C-alpha cells in the first residue's frame, strides 16, 4: 500500500538536490526523482508531502516517520528477520553512490541521515560516520538497518569535486561534536571512520580530549607513507592521459570489492544460473559507478585527494599522544591499499584506551563486506554504552535472531 509520509528536515549547510534509488520496507523498490531541501539559515521543520513511499536518505537532517512501530516481542522478531532478508548489498551501494556523485553540487560537505536506519532505542548515542577518500558517505550502507536500531546515525557526505582541506573537515566535525555534546553531555558520541575517515576521527579526538568520544576505526590511513597509494603521487603527475583515465578502475580493484563481491555471491549457494546472473548485475553496477566517478573526478582532483590523504595521515600521527578516547581498531588482513594489520598493532601500542579486532580474510573496504556486521562487533567488544560509563544491565543488548542463528548453526 502506498502512503504519504510526512518528513522533518533539520537545518544544515546548503540547498541540495538528490536523485537516487530508494529502499522501501517490504521489498518494494520504485525508482523516482527525489528533491531534498536543507537551509543553512533556518532551523524550523519543513513538512514534505512530495514523497509517496519514504526515501532512504535525507541530507542535513532526518526524516521521522509518523506511524508508530509495533512494540510487542513477536512483531519485533518478525521485523528483525525481515530486515535481515532485505538487507542492502553492494549493488545498492554502487547504484546509490552513482546517483550521489552524479547529482553532486560541488560542496560544501554536509551530514545526512539514512532513512533505512529506522526507529532506535531511547537515549541512543549519536554515531558520526566519516568516509574514506571517495567521500560519498554511503560506506555503512550494509550496516544502516542494524545500526539505526541502537544509534542516531549521521553520515558525512563530501561532494566529489569539493576541495575542503583536511583541517577544514576537522573543524566541521569538531563543530558538530561540540554542539551535540552541549545538547546531550551525558551521552557518548561515536566516531566511525574508515581509511581517511579514521585519520579524521583521530584528529577530532586529539583536539577534544574532554568530550566523551568512542572511536571505531576500520583500516585508518595513518600509515599512508607505507601504502600502495603513496608512490602514485609522483607518477600521476607524469602519467600519460590515457593511463590516467584508468586510475579509478585500478583503485576499485585494489580495495578488494570486486573479489569480495564474487565470493559473497558464490557463498550464498544459489543455483549456478542465478549465481552468474547476480554476479553480472553486480559487475554492471560497479562498472556504471566507476564510469560516473571517472567522468566526475578529474586526474587533477584525484591527485588533490591523494595529497589531502597524505596531509591527513601526517596531521593525525602528530597528535596521537593527545588521544584519550576509547578506541576500537578493526584491521583487515588482505588490505591491498594499506598495511592495516601492522598499523593496527602500532596504533594499539600508542593509544592508551584501545582494543583491536583482526579480520584476516577481509579487504580494505571492510564495512562493505556482506559477512561483516558492525553491530555484532561493537557488542562483542563491549563498546556499546548510552552513558558515560558502561552499564552491564541497561546497556545490554540481547542477540538478534540473525546473531543467534550464526552462533547456533555451526554447533547443531
* The predicted structure's pLDDT at residue 37: 29
To the nearest 10 degrees (0 to 180), the angle between helices 73-85 and 401-408 is 70
Please give the model's pTM, rounded to 2 decimal places. Answer: 0.75
* pLDDT, tens digit (0-9, with 9 covering 90-100), for 301-332: 778 888 899 999 999 999 999 999 999 999 99
What is the three-class DSSP state of 233? helix
Asked if residue 165 is part of any domain, the answer here is yes
Asked if residue 199 is part of any domain, the answer here is yes
Greater model confidence, 355 or 394: 355
Q: Checking DSSP bridges between strand 189-194 and strand 213-218, what pairing results, if any?
A: parallel
Q: Which domain holds residue 127?
A: 74-411
What is the three-class DSSP state of 328? strand
Query: Measured between alpha carbons, how far is residue 184 from residues 45, 111, 357, 388, 390 in Å?
Result: 20, 18, 29, 11, 17
Q: Catalogue the long-range contacts made by 386-390 (C-beta closer than 8 Å, 24 or more residues apart).
A: 386/121, 386/123, 386/124, 386/125, 386/187, 386/188, 387/186, 387/187, 387/188, 388/186, 388/188, 388/212
To the nearest 10 degrees (0 to 180), the angle between helices 257-267 and 90-102 is 140
Asked if residue 66 is part of any domain, the answer here is no
Which residue reads 547504484 in cell numbers? 95
Confidence of residue 43 (pLDDT cuts 50, 70, 90): very low
Confidence of residue 275 (pLDDT cuts 50, 70, 90): low
Mean pLDDT across the stretch 4-16?
Answer: 34
Cell numbers that stand for 13 in this block: 549547510
Confidence of residue 107 (pLDDT cuts 50, 70, 90): confident
Concatenated DSSP letters of 329-371:
EEEETT-SSS-HHHHHHHHHHHSTTEEEEEETT--S-GGG-TT
* The predicted structure's pLDDT at residue 233: 67
Asked if residue 44 is part of any domain, the answer here is no
Mean pLDDT across the stretch 24-38?
Answer: 33
Greater model confidence, 330 or 54: 330
Tell me: pLDDT of 273 over 70: no
* The predicted structure's pLDDT at residue 36: 34
DSSP 99: H
Asked if residue 197 is part of any domain, the answer here is yes
Mean pLDDT across the stretch 291-296?
Answer: 58
Q: Checking DSSP bridges between strand 126-130 and strand 326-332, what pairing results, if any?
A: unpaired
Q: Could you give the CA distance from residue 130 to residue 132 in angstroms, rounded to a whole number?
A: 7
227 phi and psi, to 5 degrees?
-90, 170
Confidence of residue 14 (pLDDT cuts 50, 70, 90): very low
Confidence of residue 276 (pLDDT cuts 50, 70, 90): low
* The predicted structure's pLDDT at residue 305: 86
Q: Could you give the CA distance from residue 40 to residue 55 in angstroms, rounded to a whole number?
A: 22
Concatenated DSSP letters of 168-222:
HHHHHHHHHHHHHHHHSTTS-EEEEEETHHHHHHHHHHHH-TTS-EEEEEES-GG
Q: What is the CATH number of the domain that holds 365?
A: 3.40.50.1820
Asked if residue 47 is part of any domain, the answer here is no
Asked if residue 181 is part of any domain, the answer here is yes
| CB atoms closer than 10 angstroms to residue 207 | 16
* The predicted structure's pLDDT at residue 342: 95
Instruction: Give the number of domains in the chain.
Output: 1
Confidence of residue 282 (pLDDT cuts 50, 70, 90): low
Mean pLDDT across the stretch 95-117?
Answer: 85
* pLDDT, tens digit (0-9, with 9 covering 90-100), for 335-368: 888 899 999 999 999 999 999 999 998 888 899 8
Supply the Cα-derived Rg of the chain in whole angstroms.
21
Asked if residue 311 is part of any domain, the answer here is yes
4 phi and psi, to 5 degrees?
-90, 125
Q: Of the segments 243-257, 311-325, 393-407, which one has the largest average pLDDT value?
A: 311-325
Instruction: Identify the helix (H) or strand (E) that includes residue 327.
Output: strand 326-332
* pLDDT, tens digit (0-9, with 9 covering 90-100), for 179-234: 999 999 999 999 999 999 999 999 999 999 999 999 999 999 999 988 877 766 66
Query: Measured between alpha carbons, how far is residue 65 from residues 6, 7, 51, 310 in Å?
Result: 7, 7, 12, 42
* The predicted structure's pLDDT at residue 166: 96
Amino acid at each position: 500500500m502506498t502512503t504519504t509520509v510526512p518528513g522533518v528536515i533539520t537545518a544544515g549547510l546548503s540547498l541540495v538536490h538528490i536523485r537516487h534509488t530508494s529502499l522501501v520496507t517490504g521489498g518494494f523498490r520504485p525508482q523516482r526523482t527525489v528533491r531534498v531541501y536543507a537551509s543553512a539559515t533556518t532551523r524550523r521543520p519543513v513538512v514534505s508531502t512530495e514523497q509517496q513511499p519514504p526515501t532512504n536518505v535525507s541530507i542535513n537532517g532526518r526524516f521521522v516517520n509518523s506511524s508508530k512501530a509495533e512494540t510487542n516481542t513477536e512483531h519485533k522478531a518478525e521485523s528483525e528477520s525481515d530486515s535481515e532478508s532485505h538487507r542492502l548489498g553492494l549493488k545498492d551501494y554502487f547504484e546509490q553512490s552513482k546517483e550521489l556523485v552524479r547529482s553532486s553540487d560541488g560542496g560544501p560537505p554536509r551530514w545526512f541521515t539514512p532513512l533505512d536506519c529506522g526507529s532506535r532505542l531511547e537515549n541512543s548515542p549519536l554515531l558520526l560516520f566519516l568516509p574514506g577518500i571517495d567521500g560519498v558517505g554511503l560506506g555503512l550502507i550494509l550496516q544502516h538497518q542494524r545500526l539505526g536500531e541502537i544509534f542516531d546515525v549521521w553520515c558525512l557526505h563530501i561532494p566529489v569535486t569539493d576541495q575542503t582541506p583536511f583541517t577544514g573537515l576537522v573543524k566541521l566535525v569538531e563543530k558538530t561534536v561540540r554542539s551535540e555534546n552541549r545538547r546531550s553531555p551525558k551521552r557518548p558520541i561515536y566516531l566511525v571512520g574508515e581509511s581517511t575517515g579514521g585519520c579524521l576521527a583521530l584528529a577530532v579526538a586529539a583536539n577534544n580530549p574532554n568530550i566523551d568520544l568512542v572511536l571505531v576505526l576500520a583500516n585508518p590511513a595513518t600509515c599512508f607513507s607505507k601504502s600502495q597509494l603513496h608512490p602514485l603521487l609522483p607518477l600521476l603527475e607524469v602519467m600519460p592521459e590515457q593511463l590516467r583515465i584508468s586510475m579509478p578502475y585500478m583503485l576499485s580493484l585494489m580495495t578488494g570489492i570486486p573479489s569480495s563481491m564474487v565470493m559473497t555471491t558464490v557463498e550464498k549457494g544459489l543455483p549456478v544460473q542465478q549465481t552468474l546472473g547476480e554476479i553480472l548485475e553486480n559487475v554492471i553496477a560497479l562498472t556504471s559507478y566507476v564510469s560516473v566517478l571517472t567522468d566526475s573526478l578529474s586526474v587533477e582532483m584525484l591527485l588533490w585527494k591523494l595529497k589531502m590523504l597524505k596531509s591527513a595521515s601526517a596531521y593525525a600521527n602528530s597528535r596521537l599522544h593527545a588521544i584519550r578516547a576509547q578506541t576500537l581498531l578493526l584491521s583487515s588482513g588482505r588490505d591491498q591499499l594499506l598495511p592495516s594489520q601492522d598499523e593496527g598493532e602500532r596504533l594499539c601500542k600508542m593509544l592508551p584506551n584501545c582494543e583491536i579486532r583482526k579480520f584476516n580474510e577481509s579487504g580494505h573496504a571492510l564495512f562493505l563486506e556482506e559477512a561483516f556486521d558492525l553491530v555484532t562487533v561493537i557488542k562483542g567488544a563491549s563498546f556499546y554504552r548510552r552513558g558515560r560509563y558502561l552499564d552491564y544491565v541497561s546497556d545490554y543488548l540481547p542477540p538478534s535472531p540473525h546473531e543467534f542463528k550464526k552462533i547456533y548453526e555451526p554447533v547443531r
